[in-house]
Chains A and B, each alone.
Chain A
Amino acid sequence: MRKLIARVRDRWSDSDVRTDGGEVSAERSLLRRDSVRSAPFWLPPFLLVGLFVYGAVLWNFVLSLTDFQGLGAPDYGSLDFENYAIAFNGGTPTWSELTVDPVWNSLQNTIILMVVFSVVCLVLGLLLAILVDRNIRYEDTFRTIYLLPMSLSFVVTAKFWLYMYNPQTGLINAAIGLVGIGPVEIVQNPDLKLGAVAFALIWQFSGYAMIVYLAALRGIPTSHFEAARVDGASTVRMYWRVIIPQLRTATVSALVVITVFALKAFDFLFSMYGGYQPGPSADILATRMVREAYANQNWAYGSTIAVILFVMALFIVTPYIYTQYKRGEL
């Protein structure tokens, strides 16, 4: 992009000093030939990604149009959108004797989880970043501790939090026991399930939001802070009026990554609930998809739910990549 602008600028600048003459053009053509010579470098990884990522996404879409039940080969002869009708309206598909539920419930849970999880993560992360940025001692230690859960797997996090939530031995119940509330079953309680999942995920990922915001805060020139100081703005006001508005880019990129994390929370739910059945109040699209395909053998229906997940991810990511492109970041 920048090269292109430079070239255009050369064209329009003083016509006597054209830079695309003589020696330079030899260099140009050499570099153009390098485009071809570099193909062995970027083509193999590109083909791998093309085959396993994009090829698989396309194949998955085709599978979602079949009645594939896992036995034999999928019948690619009769493609229809029946699975999508089932996904949105429920009913009895031609490939099953039983009625199949629509995806609304798990879609709703997915969106609730995504919104709660990402908003709390970002707010908490921003708060921590501002605190850590206040010239504190042992900053490295605090930073390391806040980001520590991020290095754990979903499975390990689920194990720790199952223990924390346990009615008999868990710290959470011990804490509310001090206030005089009896032991509460948290993990299996339909009203608390999704909140418990969100809370544990926030524990794991809020440190990530902090790191992103911290990097952004460090990128703001000191003069901005000083200018606000000179104006006599209070600290809170300075952050609210001057600093936070400058963190938009950081917010967007953290938000994209965090919402995609939330889409991926399958591993966590699988470990927390010991399998494919987190129950209706904690079922998200990710768990529903894997359950349909791998536990119920409704492979094509699983593919259909996967397409819905993919489209959701697309809606989040495409604008992001486009703005990155517009800003010349790619």
Chain B
Amino acid sequence: MSGATSDESTTTATGGETETRTALKRVVLYAVLVGMAVFYLIPIETGLMTAITDPSTYTGSTPYLPPLEPLVPGTGSFSLEPFGNAFDGLSRGLVNSVILVVPATVLSGLLGSMAAYGLTNVDWRGQVGIYALFIAGIFIPYQAVLVPLTQFWYNVVPLQSMFVPLASFPFVQEYHWKLAALIITHTAYGIPICTLLFRAHYKKLSSEMIEAARLDGASVSTIYRRIVLPLSVPMFAVVFIYQFTQVWNDLLFALTIVQFGDASVVTQELVGIGVSQSGTNFPLRMAAALLAAFPTLIVYILFGDKFAEGVTA
């Protein structure tokens, strides 16, 4: 719990004046907290209010505060049409993002866990250096590798030609090679942060237990499968949530590896949506933004604590 002693406890019977002052302090405290909450919520809230407005009746004098009269379902301007259109506009991106995010998240999480476990067993002095290389990878800006990555995927690795025969299988399209390249890239870039998250966890695992198991003749991989993995389940949740958010939200790798076209992911589709010759369709744009953010928002609202644990590691 909080380290600060609560203000209530300091009001000993010294008379009404202190109590009023304390009460006033609390009122100010809550006012600031609520004001800040409004600041964080209002862009999302105005987006939502606009997204449920009928585009034909949308005037731009946005109703910011629900439930204003025109926004009552069934009356004039309430409409789910923008969400319907946004879903149509984003559907390709949503499908591709799902194809991308599941393997990339699982692979980077698993490889990060393996790296963290393997390094705890290493008894050389060099292991801190190896680990430092893993950690430094978290902070390397994507820009520093974009040009080589584009060269690599387009001119060095014949991934594209590998997908031509695969395209005879159901569900496999030739353009999926770009998503495969993106999965591998995101996996490699996700390993450092996953390693960091697992490392902190594995250091806390009782080394006596592991060593005892070792001396009883359990092999390194048996210990991993039988002891370490089952104990890592809660940590996997943290890692998966964090990586899912990272990969789902990325635009830069997608822009450079996928460029544009059939393999576009949701962030790419979102950039240009709702802008046409006739002007900007704000309800559609806001609906699309909310729809693209929906998976990460839901995950965050349901598992907020785990997300926080991930970002503060």
Contacts and interface: CB of A to CB of B under 8 A. Distances in A.
Dominant SS among interface residues on chain A: helix
Interface string A95-123: 00000000000000000000000000000
Given A136-B30, A146-B37, A38 B144 contact: no
A225 B41 contact: no
Contacts of B195: 45
B147 A302 contact: yes
Nearest to B127: A35
A10 to B, nearest CB: 15
Contact of A150 (B47, B224, B282, B311): B311
Given A45-B191, A153-B292, A156-B270, A317 B136 contact: yes
A222 B272 contact: no
Contact of B121 (A35, A52, A55, A270): A35
Contacts of B5: 222, 225-226, 229
Interface in A291-318: 293-294, 299, 302-303, 305-307, 309-310, 313, 316-318
B146 A293 contact: yes
B159 interface: no
Contacts of A43: 118
B43 A142 contact: no
B99 interface: no
B155 interface: yes
Given A52-B189, A155-B271, A34 B139 contact: no
A144 B211 CA distance: 41
A57 B145 contact: yes
Given A49-B134, A168-B60, A307-B144, A313 B3 contact: no
Nearest to A58: B148
Interface stretch (A76-84, A185-193, A256-264): A256-264
Contact of B111 (A44, A222, A302): A44
Q: Of residues A49, A146, A169, which shows the largest number of chain B Cβ atoms within 10 Å of its Cβ?
A: A49
Contacts of A161: 43
A45 B114 contact: yes
Contacts of B112: 45
A88 interface: no
B91 interface: no
A74 B152 CA distance: 12
B297 A152 contact: yes
A41 B117 contact: yes
A156 B112 CA distance: 29
A327 B90 CA distance: 48
B123 A34 contact: yes
Given A37-B121, A146-B40, A208-B311, A49 B144 contact: no
A9 B10 CA distance: 48
Interface in A168-224: 168-169, 171, 203, 207-208, 211-212, 215, 217-218, 220-222, 224
Contacts of B224: 41
A163 B47 CA distance: 8
B6 interface: yes
Given A41-B118, A220-B3, A266 B252 contact: yes
B13 interface: no
Contacts of A221: 3
A310 B139 CA distance: 9
A54 to B, nearest CB: 7
A285 B146 CA distance: 14
Given A133-B4, A151-B296, A303-B148, 19 more contacts: A38-B121, A46-B115, A48-B111, A48-B191, A134-B29, A149-B43, A151-B245, A155-B267, A156-B292, A160-B289, A163-B47, A164-B46, A211-B312, A224-B3, A267-B250, A306-B143, A306-B146, A318-B136, A324-B135
Q: Which 9 A-B residue pairings sit nearest by Cβ, starting from the closest?
A: A41-B118, A42-B118, A153-B249, A52-B188, A56-B145, A151-B300, A310-B144, A38-B121, A169-B60
